[in-house]
Amino acid sequence: MRRRVRIAIALPFLLLAVSHLEVQSLHAADEERPRWLQPYHEPANRLIGEALGSTFAWDRLALLTDTIGHRLSGTPALDRAIQWAVAEMTRDGLENVHTERVMVPKWVRGNESAEIVEPARQAMVMLGLGNSVGTPAEGLQAEVLVVHSFEELDAQAASARGRIVFFNVPYVNYGETVRFRAAGPSRAARHGAVASLVRSIGPTGLRTPHTGALQYTSDAPKIPAAAITAEDGDRLQRMADRKSKIVVRLRMEAHFEADAESANVVGEIRGRELPDEVVVVAGHLDSWDVGAGATDDGGGCIVTWEALRMMKKLNLRPRRTVRVVLFTNEENGGRGGTAYRDQHRAELAKHVMMLESDGGVFRPLGVGFTGSDAARDTVKGIATLLTGIAADQVTPGGGGADIGPSVQEARIPALSLDVDGSKYFLIHHTPADTMDKIDPVEMAKCAATVAVMAYVIADLPQPLAR
């Protein structure tokens, strides 16, 4: 209720602000901006105005997350989301709407729990790691060895045998700390550990566990592995510091079932002159099986899809085709991204640009970019059209997990939507990844950023330089 009131108050001011900016930017256009950019001021301002003029994107994401919820690969929920997206894209008037079949792994979490048995019985808040094996049905009970790095584990190799190894590594940033989740279980198993726990990969929240995929290596037995909250990690650490004997009981039903049929969802605005040349904007429709998959990555799906819906609504048809792809199975397999590369191999050379949004739909800062210097200069020019919503940064490092296989194979210029990331890893892969974390105005600005980038790049007289 409070949110509704806030939107109602904020919108008129926003619209005023946008139309004011429109006037400013049109004045600036004549004097300061390069000539090649001049035809794009008007469509860019229309796209920005359309995005900010309603809460359409937020409402659509709320509908997805409220009525379908989380969407792990191989679940009926993901199937429903795929069917829903096809129906809605068709209703939006997108062209060539279809699915592209992908076989995906089906990992099932089942029931799970972790409890401290000694020095006193206490439940912990945990989430099994994606792709983990389960424990025996009665669970698995062992003494805990706490380590803080792989080096410390290797130095204590002898005492890891028969133990549950707990990687209690403080969160620095995702790139730095995620290796303890991904590689920790096999590193521990190599020394004879029977299970592995990891301190959740994220800043300390309110006793919130973070799941995410692990990667077993072939040189060690597969042992069950789970994340526990930072708070429970601190508790185990205090016990270890007191030299208490810590015994934990872990129960996990996690297992794989046969691969399941899934699909990437595709919709297009066909190009008016060069329909075979393609600009792709994308997110991933699958999510972990906790929370609602709102930020990771329902939001990315909706804001990239919005770019096409708004072009259609405003009757903006660029020179080249703009294609939205909602990928399947990013989280625990990446099969959607590799399938797209394989199924579209013949036309990858005609992919002019690929953009992925998978870092949340918080306040947009601009785009990350990977590609040639000439293309970067062009993207920087286009970004000036987004100065009015303060989303005009172009930083090194564009791309995404789903577009990655195609981008690498054909050296396609790659963009990512860059947003204020301060809240992302608090909720990433947790039960707290829900709709209430997303602000409708910030999300609308994300849609505007993607739409302007995609439209202008698709319409330029020359494709972005490879």
Residue listed under structure tokens 């998959």: 293
- Looking at the Cβ atoms of 124 and 417, the one nearer to Zn ion is 417
Minimum CB separation of residue 426 from Zn ion in Å reads: 15
The interface region with Zn ion, picked from 243-251, 255-263, 353-361, 369-377 by CB under 5 A, is 353-361
Residue 247, token pair as written in the block? 């015994």
Dist CA 385 CA 67 (whole Å): 36
Instruction: Out of 50, 88, 289, 297, point to the residue binding Zn ion (CB under 5 A).
Output: 297
Applying CB under 5 A, does 433 fall inside the site for Zn ion?
Answer: no
Point out which residues pair with 366 in neighbouring strands. 393, 418
Is residue 351 a contact partner of residue 463, using CB atoms and an 8 Å limit? Answer: no
User: How many residues appear in the chain?
Assistant: 466
- Looking at the Cβ atoms of 232 and 358, the one nearer to Zn ion is 358
Q: Among 400, 410, 129, which Cα is nearest to 289's? A: 129
Q: Catalytic one among 112, 268, 330, 356?
A: 330
Minimum CB separation of residue 97 from Zn ion in Å reads: 23
- Looking at the Cβ atoms of 232 and 296, the one nearer to Zn ion is 296
Instruction: Out of 112, 277, 296, 433, point to the residue binding Zn ion (CB under 5 A).
Output: 296
Is residue 388 a contact partner of residue 366, using CB atoms and an 8 Å limit? Answer: no
Dist CA 369 CA 416 (whole Å): 7
Beta strands in 357-428, from DSSP E residues, in sequence order: 364-370, 393-396, 414-419
- Looking at the Cβ atoms of 271 and 334, the one nearer to Zn ion is 334
What would you measure as the largest C-alpha separation in the chain, in angstroms?
Answer: 74
The interface region with Zn ion, picked from 136-144, 145-153, 289-297, 338-346 by CB under 5 A, is 289-297
Angle between helices 2-32 and 41-52 (to 10 degrees): 170
Dist CA 135 CA 115 (whole Å): 14
- Looking at the Cβ atoms of 301 and 311, the one nearer to Zn ion is 301
The interface region with Zn ion, picked from 171-179, 199-207, 292-300, 370-378 by CB under 5 A, is 292-300
Q: How many binding residues for Zn ion (CB under 5 A)? A: 3
Residue 243, token pair as written in the block? 């030299």
The interface with Zn ion within residues 403-422 (CB under 5 A) comprises: none
Minimum CB separation of residue 272 from Zn ion in Å reads: 33
Phi, psi of 378 (to 5 degrees): -60, -45
- Looking at the Cβ atoms of 305 and 455, the one nearer to Zn ion is 305
- Looking at the Cβ atoms of 44 and 325, the one nearer to Zn ion is 325
Instruction: Out of 277, 358, 418, 433, point to the residue binding Zn ion (CB under 5 A).
Output: 358
Residue 389, token pair as written in the block? 């919503």
What is each CA distance from 2 to 8, 57, 294, in whole angstroms?
10, 19, 20
The interface region with Zn ion, picked from 12-20, 164-172, 251-259, 351-359 by CB under 5 A, is 351-359
Minimum CB separation of residue 364 from Zn ion in Å reads: 17
The interface region with Zn ion, picked from 204-212, 244-252, 356-364, 423-431 by CB under 5 A, is 356-364
- Looking at the Cβ atoms of 282 and 441, the one nearer to Zn ion is 282
Minimum CB separation of residue 21 from Zn ion in Å reads: 31
> Which amino acid would we find at residue 62?
A
The interface region with Zn ion, picked from 221-229, 355-363, 402-410, 456-464 by CB under 5 A, is 355-363
Is residue 53 a contact partner of residue 15, using CB atoms and an 8 Å limit? Answer: yes
Residue 253 falls in the annotated catalytic set: no
Minimum CB separation of residue 38 from Zn ion in Å reads: 37
Collapsing DSSP to helix, strand or coil, 414 comes out as: strand
Minimum CB separation of residue 127 from Zn ion in Å reads: 16
Using CB atoms within 10 Å of the CB of residue 183, give its burial: 0 to 12 exposed, 13 to 18 middle, 19+ buried: middle
Residue-wise burial string across 297-307, b where 16 or more C-beta atoms lie within 10 A, e elsewhere = bbbbbbbbbbb
Minimum CB separation of residue 400 from Zn ion in Å reads: 8
Sign of the Cα pseudo-torsion (116, 163, 198, 151, in order): positive
What residues have CB less than 8 Å from 347, skipping those under 6 apart?
276, 278
Minimum CB separation of residue 278 from Zn ion in Å reads: 23
- Looking at the Cβ atoms of 223 and 446, the one nearer to Zn ion is 446
Residue numbers annotated as active site: 330
Binding site for Zn ion (CB under 5 A): 296-297, 358
